[in-house]
Amino acid sequence: MQDFSNVKVVLVNPSHPGNIGASARAMKNMGLENMTLVQPEQFPSGVAVGRAASAVDVLESAIVVNSLRSAVAECGLVIGASARSRRIPWPMLTPEQCAAKIISEKNTTRVALVFGREDSGLNNDDLQLCHYHVQIPANETYNSLNLASAVMVICYELHKVVLKAEELTPRDKYDLWDQETATGEQVESFYEHLERVMITIGFHDPENPRQLMHRIRRLFGRIRIDMMELNILRGILTNVEKKIKGRED
């Protein structure tokens, strides 16, 4: 039986403590225990404890951080819940596909399931930190789910796949990979490095970015870069800088 010790649920700016408690309960019902809260409006909270019922332990061990970026810094797979279509489409998963993806990871890969604010969901900056977006299929005329309900559906599908996985493990293409997946923090450093080089070579103007970094993130976010690949990309950038600098000296 797979445990979910490598998976965490991240709630970004939850405004109602009741939803934090109800999310903790939903998580524990489905076998998940790690909760991270990004700038919750009110936490700890007696209301959260009441709604958590017998999942108070999930609340007690919840980690509070200041930014989504730090919440996912060590994660190799980040999936964000999104109700809407975006201007620049992102790789979308159904809840079942989301669950299958997580189960197919090595259990050393840290995984974050990210949920947004009750009223507005994840914003574009948040969503760009995600490798995939997951959308819960819903009534077209009213597709805004309660936060804890969304957590429940995603965790329920995850639990269901584990039950099935004991009979039949769908091998993912990364199952037998020869390298560890790069962490979110390492990939962020690569983006920063690439951005510096693009500015140096006059390809990118931060004053007039034209969504360039957005597209770069979507490009490399789809790859799930491994460690050796990251080293190759960083090496290329470093050599470009050296070559240019060498000429300038």
| Residues of this chain, 115-134, that bind a second copy according to CB under 8 A | 132
State the number of binding residues for a second copy (CB under 8 A): 77
Site for a second copy in 152-171 (CB under 8 A): 152-153, 156, 159-160, 163, 169-171
Q: Is 51 in the site for a second copy (CB under 8 A)?
A: yes
Site of tokens 């914003």? 123
Between 31 and 44, CB nearer to a second copy: 31
Between 48 and 71, CB nearer to a second copy: 48
End-to-end CA distance of the chain: 60
Least Cβ distance, residue 164 to a second copy (angstroms): 10
Burial class (CB in 10 A: 0-12, 13-18, 19+), 47: middle
What are the phi and psi torsion angles at 215 (to 5°)? -70, -35
Between 71 and 129, CB nearer to a second copy: 129
* Closest of 68, 66, 20, 9 to residue 39, by C-alpha: 66
Is the preceding omega at residue 44 within 30 degrees of 0, hence cis? yes
Pick the binder of a second copy from 62, 111, 145, 158 (CB under 8 A): 145
| Distance from C-alpha of 79 to C-alpha of 111, rounded to nearest angstrom | 8
Pick the binder of a second copy from 20, 30, 68, 111 (CB under 8 A): 30
Residue 240, number of CB atoms within 10 A of its CB: 13
Between 123 and 243, CB nearer to a second copy: 243
Amino acid at 98: C
Between 123 and 179, CB nearer to a second copy: 179
Q: Is 106 in the site for a second copy (CB under 8 A)?
A: no
